Amino acid sequence: MRPTVVEVSLARLGDNFRAVRAAVAPAAVMPIVKANAYGHGLVEVARHLVALGAPSLGVAFLEEALALRRAGVAVPILVMGGILGNQIPVFLRHGLTLTASSIDKLRQIDDAARDLGVTAKVHLKIDTGMERIGVHYYSAHGLLERASECRHTVVEGIYSHFAAADAADLTSARVQLARFLEVLEWYDKQGVPPPVRHIANSGAILQLPESHLDLVRAGILLYGVYPSPEVRRTIAVRPALSWKSRVVYFKVVTPGHAVGYGSTWQADHPVRVVTIPVGYGDGYFRALSNAAEIIVRGRKYPVVGRVCMDQVMVNIEWDTAYNGDEVVLLGEAGGEAITCEDLAEWAGTIPYEVLTNINTRVPRVYV
């Protein structure tokens, strides 16, 4: 019954998936659904993409993968984040694919699989320039050799991650790709086919077709948002998410009466101010105070005063609005649009953070 909702267009999500799939063929597409599917809803988005033919999914944490398994999602799920040893049996019992980021982790995985009488499935993680997790590219051959000796573990993939594939200057991304390809030469020297090779994220999908290899990992691009202002928009996608609410209060504010915490805004003439039931407790950043715009009755108006935990105020000057009128925080209405990039610029952040900060207090509605 809450008037503030996130509306997700499954049709647009499907269109975006098909556009990415066509652009990278014959490489496969692994949708990345971590962080509640970038705010779009983990289970519903995953189910929809699997129904459209997604062969596998990627998440960050074990808990995300378990939520998908409990929801009946049966396709392979790669957990890309670092793991702890005591988590490994849980991975194996639920048929999840682990990231083996070191020789020690690989040994723990193989030992746990032996003890449980199962075969573990892993992707090897190579650090080509992120310095996050993964064995360094210049010492990766030891991991590959150890993996070839494992008795209870199957290496299904090998991957790395770009640090700057969404930049205008792709010099460092090309260096990372060259390092990854050099690591992969080990398989040729051994006379064995490599496992599934993947390094391309959204930026590389758009800008580095030579990095598509066997599989690409489509993240923010899949949801219709480009990863940076500099990236070349070589694939047409549209935002799948809208954030909406309704007017719950209307009043006239007279000159000299400040609005909101800290009294940071006041008008020098009478204005009409409406209150919207959304705030930083929902992920509408406090940094949007006196900076953002909201669409009311098809027109953009400024947020005034500080964003509260649960409410925000909007100055509609002397225009008209009524309790119950729909407003758009992110999306389109009446020929106007507020984009994820707009909110990111006003808040001094990036589109990724805008999407993933819309928390679960806001209901998701699928259309």
Select which of 138, 249, 251, 261 is catalytic.
261
Paired residues of 250 in beta bridges: 274
Give yes or no: 34 in active site.
Answer: yes
Please say whether the beta carbons of 204 and 217 come within 8 A.
no
Please say whether the beta carbons of 222 and 31 come within 8 A.
yes
Please say whether the beta carbons of 303 and 288 come within 8 A.
yes
Half-sphere exposure of 164 (CA within 13 A, CB side): 12
Report the SS3 class of residue 113.
Answer: helix
The tokens describing 236, both together, are 């047409």
Q: What is the DSSP string of 163-201?
A: SSTTSS--HHHHHHHHHHHHHHHHHHHHT----EEEEE-
Which helix (H) or strand (E) is 154 found in, with range? strand 153-159
Report the SS3 class of residue 297.
Answer: coil
The interaxial angle of helices 42-51 and 62-70, nearest 10 deg, is: 60
Half-sphere exposure of 147 (CA within 13 A, CB side): 27
Give yes or no: 261 in active site.
Answer: yes
CA pair distance 120, 106, nearest whole angstrom:
10
Q: Among all residues, which ones are annotated catalytic?
A: 34, 261
